[in-house]
Amino acid sequence: MAVMTGLSGNEMYCLHAKGLTAGDLVIGNSVFSMGVMGGLASGVNMLAGGEVSQITSIIHDGRQNSYQRMVNEAQRHGGVGITGVSSDLVQHSGNVEFLSIGSTIHQEGVQTETLSFSSSADGQELYCLIDSGFRPIKFSFGNVAYSIGLGGGIMGAFKSMARGEVHQYSQIFNETRHLALKRISEEAHTAGANAVLGIETSIIPMMGVQEMVMIGTAAHHPLLPPEYSQNPVTSDLTCEEMWNLVHMGYMPIQLVLGVSVYSLGFVGGITSMFKALGRGEISELTTLIYEARENAIARIAQDANACGADDVVGIKTYVYQIGSGIIEFMAIGTAVKKIPGVQTLSPLLPAQAVIRDKDTFVNSAETVLSSSLDQATKKRGGGD
């Protein structure tokens, strides 16, 4: 019977190099009523802001249900693992579907009723992870649903009269982002891992709250010091980036993140509004945004120093508009450290491990429709 896989040719090549072969696409889902979640959200006192634990729990259960059903399907296929695992939310009319999708992996001569591993890494990343000396164990995630809070909003409104950091918001956002990281680390520890790699972070609005979710692969490396068995390494580097660092003798130590929430301020807002009418730089906004980014980066430097890192690599900064002239700046990177004896299994990565697959699907119906509308407009005399 033909195998129906979600893996590309590049992924299959990389897995074959590690003695693994492609298996069938596997799917798990769980549908929850939006009404139930909405009722809980409206009944929760969110005046103080911070985590809304009831919503966190519901979303966690939905993600876990869909993941477990996908695992059960992979086990029925006799796979040794699943690669490319995703955990998505799909809105249907009045309901939300939690959806997990991955591809079963087989190993020649091995037939098992229980999976050896599951991973968020695709086939190319899985090659890099294994070649870096890690043993994949389990797809892991950590989530937190949180509210900015009406109380925080009132205090923030007074604070935003002045230009600068809104500490109430910074505290709420710092706590919730670190909470998601703590939970994915705890899940990896429970699975017997000393690292969780390739962490991807998403922020999803839902039912009047925001969910921050981190997904990654819990894994084990024999050369990591014993302390990481209790407090696993966390990294948001891609597995390809990590392979390059391991090749140079570095290991990821900790995902570090810093949040800074700033307000332009009532007076500054009026000043910049008048300046925006003319040509030239709006110095108030320039300085504010610069300071906020520097503040967020300073916070990840503090985390890196606390964990004894040599460097922080792959720093990315993100900007979110919260509203009312208030902006969140978030900086994320991975702290790394030289560890004796660390090296990759192969001297070079194969090209197939780094080639990005080309999207070969084009929705030509939209293109044709757009072209037809353009032609119709010109016939009516609406064109140039």
* Tens-digit pLDDT profile for residues 260-277: 888 866 444 545 454 555
Q: Please list the ranges in the chain whose pLDDT falls under 50.
A: 45, 47, 150-152, 154-156, 158, 160-161, 266-268, 270, 272, 274, 379-384
For the segment 18-61, what is each residue's pLDDT rounded down to a tens digit?
Answer: 999 999 999 999 998 876 655 555 555 454 567 888 889 999 99
Neighbouring C-alpha atoms within 13 Å toward the C-beta of 353: 25
Based on its alpha-carbon atoms, the radius of gyration of the chain, rounded to whole angstroms, reads: 24
For the segment 151-187, what is each residue's pLDDT rounded down to a tens digit?
Answer: 445 444 545 445 678 877 788 788 888 999 999 999 9
Sort residue 9 into left (φ over 0), alpha (ψ -120 to 50) or beta.
alpha
Average pLDDT, the chain: 84
Q: Which two tokens stand for residue 131?
A: 């070649």
Give the Cα separation of 24 and 135 in Å (integer). 22
Other Cβ atoms within 10 Å of 176 Cβ, number = 23
Shortest CA distance to 50 belongs to which of 201, 176, 212, 178?
A: 176
Shortest CA distance to 198 belongs to which of 106, 121, 138, 128?
A: 121
Helices 123-131 and 9-17: crossing angle in degrees, nearest 10, is 20
Is the alpha carbon torsion for 115, 116, 117, 122 positive or negative? negative
Q: Taking the model in full, what pTM does it have?
A: 0.84
